[in-house]
Structure 1
């Protein structure tokens, strides 16, 4: 938690949250099927950033951006499940990328979107759950493809450029000061 003592880290967390909210809000206009499902491009970006940035930044951003987007779009009833899903996505991607490759972790995390199907079934019944299943299957494919593509791009830019997208070394002095 030493990173949270850095103002730069907190401001970067706010900027990433704002970026995710913006991408999510803009992509809400991309409808799937008969207009009930939303193609959420922010999930792919969220998963790719988890593989790049260490620490709790994306956990905080993930919870905040999905809550803000659900409030903006009027999906208040989905806020609890959205928060739980983003926490699971973060934990699975963050820890499973150490065991599997980061690409396998992104795919496994994308599968957490299927919790929306169960939630919709419990709240609205089987007809809505079937539509949600179709929407979520498309969402999982898009999130996985976008997440893996962005993870590859971010990794290459961070590895080959002198201007890194993210450099965790800048926060080591906060870690050393706590020891």
Structure 2
């Protein structure tokens, strides 16, 4: 939590949240099936950024961007499940990437989107749940492919470029100053 002491970290969190909201808003017009299902391209970027950026930044951004998008699209009833799904996606990708490869963690996190099927079944019935299942299967495939592709690109840029996309070392002095408080 020492990173949250940095104004740069907080501003970057806001910028990433704005980027995710923008991508999610633009991609909401990509409809699947009978017009009810939305293909969310921001999830792939969200998963790729989790593998790149350490700390709670993406947890905060993930919760904020899905809440804002659900409000914009009028899906107020989906806010609770969207928040839970993004928290699970963050936790699975963040912690499972240490044991599996980041590719396996991204795929496992994408599977959390299937919770929308169960939620839709309880709220709206079988017909909506089947439509949601088709939508989520496409969403999982797109999120996994996009997440893995962007993750590979981000890691290569960070390894081979002088100007890194993200460098967590710039926040270590906040940790050192908080360790010497007592």
Give the TM-score normalised by the residue count of structure 2. Answer: 0.98
| CA displacement, residues 96-152 of structure 1 (integer Å, 9 cap, x when unaligned) | 000000000000000000000000000000110000000000000000000000000
2:166 matched residue in structure 1:
166
Task: Give the alignment's Cα RMSD to 1 decimal.
Answer: 0.4
Deviation digits for residues 32-67 of structure 1 (CA, Å, limit 9, x no counterpart)? 122111110000000000000000000000000000
Match status 1:96 vs 2:96: yes
Q: Which 4+ residue blocks in structure 1 deviate beyond 6 angstroms?
A: none
Structure 2: give runs of 5+ residues left out of the alignment: none
SS of equivalent residue, structure 1 residue 111: helix
1:49-93 deviation line (CA, Å, top 9, x unaligned): 000000000000000000000000000000000000000000000
Q: Distance in 2 between matches of 1:166 and 1:33?
A: 38
CA distance in 2, matches of 1:135, 1:172: 42
Q: Distance in 2 between matches of 1:29 and 1:151?
A: 25
The match for 2:134 is 134
- Unmatched 5+ stretches in structure 1: none
TM-score, normalisation: structure 1: 0.99
Distance of 1:37 and 1:160 partners within structure 2: 39
